[in-house]
Amino acid sequence: MFTATRLQKILSISVICGLSACTGLNSSRPEHSRPVLPPPSNTLTKAGVTPEALLNRITWGSNFSTKQQVQAVGLDRYLDQQLRGQTSVVPPTIQNQINALTISQNSFESLVRQMEAKRIASEQQKGTDDTLRKEYQQEMNRLAKEAASRSLLRQIYASNQLHEQMSWFWMNHFNMHNSKHNLRVMIGDFEEHAIRPYALGNFRDLLRATVFHPAMLRYLDNEYNAVNRINENYARELMELHTMGVNGGYSQRDVQELARVLTGVGVNLSNDAPKIKHEISHLYIRRGLFEFNPQRHDFGDKQLLGSTIKGRGLKEVDEVLDLLVRQPATAHFISQKLANFFVSDQPSEVLVNAMAQSFLNSDGDIAFTLRTLFDSPEFIASLGKKFKDPLHYVVSYVRLAYDGSAITNTSPLLNWLNTMGQPFNGRQTPDGYQMTASAWASPGQMSTRFEIARLLANGSPNLFKPEKTESNAAVLAPASIPSANLASSAYLKNWVKSASPRTQEALAKSGSPTEWNLFFLSSPEMMHR
């Protein structure tokens, strides 16, 4: 176990490292360099924003450790550090857990090929013995769970909390349901290499990383997209969900032309390259499991969004990505989603338009666009009023209740999320989970959440007990179980002094620490961020 003081030292060092451009998350950012962000303003300080109000919005939940960081540098500088930080570290005990994961120890390509070999073997055995199929499915589920666990550990413990929020935001924006094909073995690498390095970087770089990742190409069927056998699925979602939005002003013809651009862009899980005609063989590209097969590509010119795209192979894709990112509709759509996530269910057009202009002026820089959002009076006025989705609810609970303690088992967290209807990569449609109160505050949803709150009020010892497996069932030793210090937390008692009179009255009437925990976990202050 690590103490809150030691955690504070680790996080303080990580913030300095981020500002000093240490190698890390974005050390290999490709085409775009970040525009110069203006120095931090005094906006938050002048407005009298409390540390808890800011932290509950830009982090995964306020706690004593993060409040200490804010008090050390001030509200505005802390936010500025979070916007500029390009690295994010977790305490050594948590990093050791992450390093021990199969998805951390094996290369993406080898892991996918191993699982593909198991799938083929199970298919050959089908009808005679179901053992291999069950083993294959169990291993796929385990790998998907590893990816979810790694995300959770970072959300709870990482130093750059804004980066963790944005990593999840983009994972949800580029949503994939992991039950399709072999996506369960791919989803962890998609987050690690297509999302995280660009979460606070340039949107064009982020978009390109998702376009060329095998997981996205499989999920939206572009591996089947070929000349004279057009599959429009990915092209449509690329415009409707990833860039311009459903009302972005493009036509069905634009979707068809974009699909033509994307022909031949696919996946190859084998070690073998396809046979290519000699005259176009120089255009064949293979990067890991990604493949551009020119023999499957439509080399005719395309007319897309009023521009002519000359047929010449994979270079067409990069030209089209520039075209999509620089559309005013894309700037507005991305800004709208960011404002929904960080401000309110119905942000004003004034705010969204200002953000969209920043997006265009900075050629799609995400941090630059967010600076416009965070500097707005609308952001400040919204603090404490955004209803938490289940993930924000359970992660904020763990950050608050077990600040300074290292959990060793994420299964309870994953079970709570499943119960509340928000499992990792569990949204079946590519639009991702909705971030509005109406999606999570129905009577049925609230009834479930109150039941979860009742469980949490009694503490969560299983978070600190290694999960039983066939290999360790006989050797598990009793773990040291920290208590959920809510009722006795001096930090929390000071925080609730600013709670509503009704909440304070309910807490004052609690008859036991467990009841105090339950009342707080069920309060509007805990339900909102």
Q: Give the predicted TM-score (pTM) of the model.
A: 0.92
**Alpha-carbon distance 324 to 245, whole Å?**
11
Mean pLDDT of 300-305: 98
Q: Three-state DSSP class for 249? A: coil
What does the pLDDT read at residue 207?
Answer: 98
The answer to whether the CB of 125 falls within 8 A of the CB of 139 is no
Per-residue pLDDT tens over the stretch 73-126:
999 999 999 999 877 899 999 999 999 999 999 999 999 999 999 999 999 988
Higher pLDDT residue, 255 or 24? 255
The model's pLDDT over 192-242, given as tens digits with 9 standing for 90+, comes to 999 999 999 999 999 999 999 999 999 999 999 999 999 999 999 999 999
Please give the Cα distance from 186 to 102 (Å, whole number). Answer: 12
Q: Which helix (H) or strand (E) holds 88?
A: none
pLDDT recorded at residue 483: 83
3-state secondary structure of 401: helix
Asked if residue 10 has pLDDT above 80, the reply is: no
Q: What is the DSSP string of 33-67?
A: PPP-PPPP-SHHHHTT--HHHHHHHHSS---HHHH
Those residues whose C-beta lies under 8 Å from the C-beta of residue 175, and which sit 6 or more positions away, are 425, 427, 429, 430, 431, 432, 433
The 10 Å Cβ neighbour count of residue 42 is 11
CB burial string 377-397: b at 16+ within 10 A, e below: ebbbebbbebbbbbbbbbbbb
AA letter at 443: P
- Percent of the chain residues topping a pLDDT of 70: 92
Whether residue 8 has pLDDT greater than 50: no
Q: What is the mean pLDDT of the chain?
A: 92
Count of helix runs (H) and strand runs (E) in the chain:
28, 5
Has residue 25 got a pLDDT over 80?
Answer: no
Q: What is the dihedral of CA 32, 36, 41, 44, to 10 degrees?
A: 10
What are the angstrom distances between the C-alpha of 328 and each of 341, 355, 528?
Answer: 20, 11, 32
Given a cut of 80, is residue 179 above it in pLDDT? yes
Dump pLDDT digits (tens) for 51-64. Answer: 999 999 999 999 99
CB 452 within 8 A of CB 420: yes
What is the H or E stretch that residue 392 is in? Answer: helix 390-401
Q: Over 50: is that where the pLDDT of 1 sits?
A: no
470, pLDDT greater than 70: no
Q: pLDDT class for 277, splitting at 50, 70, 90?
A: very high
Q: At what angle do helices 513-521 and 443-457 cross, to 10 degrees?
A: 150
- Average confidence (pLDDT) over 448-473: 86
pLDDT (0 to 100) of residue 31: 55
Q: What per-residue confidence (pLDDT) applies to 32?
A: 65
- Rounded to whole angstroms, what are the CA distances from 217 to 19, 182, 226, 231, 475? 35, 12, 13, 11, 43
DSSP string, 473-496: TTTPPPPP-----STT-HHHHHHG
With 60 as the cut, is the pLDDT of residue 5 above it?
A: no
21: number of Cβ within 10 Å: 13
Q: Residue 333: which pLDDT band, with cuts at 50, 70 and 90?
A: very high
pLDDT value at position 75? Answer: 97
